[in-house]
Amino acid sequence: MRIESGLELSSDHSPIIATIGAQVFPRVVPPTLVTLSTDWNVFRAYITDRINLNLPIKQCSELDDATHYFTTLLQEAAWHSTHPPRTPLAPVNTTPLHIRKLVAEKRRARSRWQRSRNQGDRAIYSRLKRNLQTALKEALNATFEQFITSLSPDDTSLCKATKSFKRPQVSITRSGNRMAVGQRVTPRRLRHSGIIFARFLRRTRPSILMTSWFLLP
């Protein structure tokens, strides 16, 4: 549906023209001099370099010429400093044709079963659903296998593929009075280590003022 304002002057009201069609009307973007990609520094420099401030304005015709000159200069500066909009690429459907056919058949079978509630239609729908799931798994495995075989250590493809992987975190374990790698550190073990360290400081550096966290009970 497209709605436009009618500019007829024969009526006291502003008529509205509604156009209804079976197809989708493309949205027409109104033309503008500036957009979000306008470089205002280039716009300012273009006007500064080309503007003429010594125009005589004594008569009405000279005023009209100066107005036309300044308007044209603004338009040229806007066209010069605004980059053309990028045309969005149409989405490409990479789904295989046999999977799209299975999706269409499954939807028709589901609609038929929801209307009839027949067990035979339900069996057909279940069979098509299983076939679609199997086809999707096979397509996913084939895509993943193709992606894996395309990786190479010579370029950056292997590095980009493994960049998002989680790295193993090395934890610390306690072996006797020492800490070893392999066991997680808990607040209780940290406090125990602090108490041991406080005892060591009490024996070796008694003049050090201990904080409340290292005080022994």
The DSSP-derived string for the chain is: -EEEE---SSSSS--EEEE--SSPPPPPPPP-S--TTB-HHHHHHHHHHH-------SSHHHHHHHHHHHHHHHHHHHHHHBPPPPPPPPPP--S-HHHHHHHHHHHHHHHHHHHH--HHHHHHHHHHHHHHHHHHHHHHHHHHHHHHHH--TTSSHHHHHHTTSPPPPP-EEEETTEEEETS---HHHHHHHHHHHHHHHHHH-TTSPPPTTT---
Residues 42 and 112 in one domain: no
- The answer to whether residue 174 is domain-embedded is no
Give percent of the chain above pLDDT 70: 65
Confidence of residue 164 (pLDDT cuts 50, 70, 90): low
Mean pLDDT score, 187-211: 57
Q: Is the pLDDT of residue 202 over 70?
A: no
Higher pLDDT, 195 or 182: 195
Higher pLDDT, 105 or 35: 105
Residues 113 and 139 in one domain: yes
Residues 17 and 65 in one domain: yes
Mean pLDDT score, 174-187: 49
Higher pLDDT, 197 or 122: 122
Mean pLDDT score, 61-67: 90
Mean pLDDT score, 149-171: 66
- The answer to whether residue 91 is domain-embedded is no
Mean pLDDT of all residues in the chain?
Answer: 76
Q: Is the pLDDT of residue 180 over 50?
A: no
- The answer to whether residue 113 is domain-embedded is yes
Task: Point out the domain boundary residue: 134, 150, 166.
Answer: 150
Task: Point out the domain boundary residue: 150, 173, 190.
Answer: 150
- The answer to whether residue 178 is domain-embedded is no
Q: Is the pLDDT of residue 211 over 60?
A: no
Number of structural domains found in the chain: 2
Q: Is the pLDDT of residue 68 over 60?
A: yes
- The answer to whether residue 62 is domain-embedded is yes
pLDDT at 171: 54
- The answer to whether residue 15 is domain-embedded is yes
Residues 139 and 73 in one domain: no
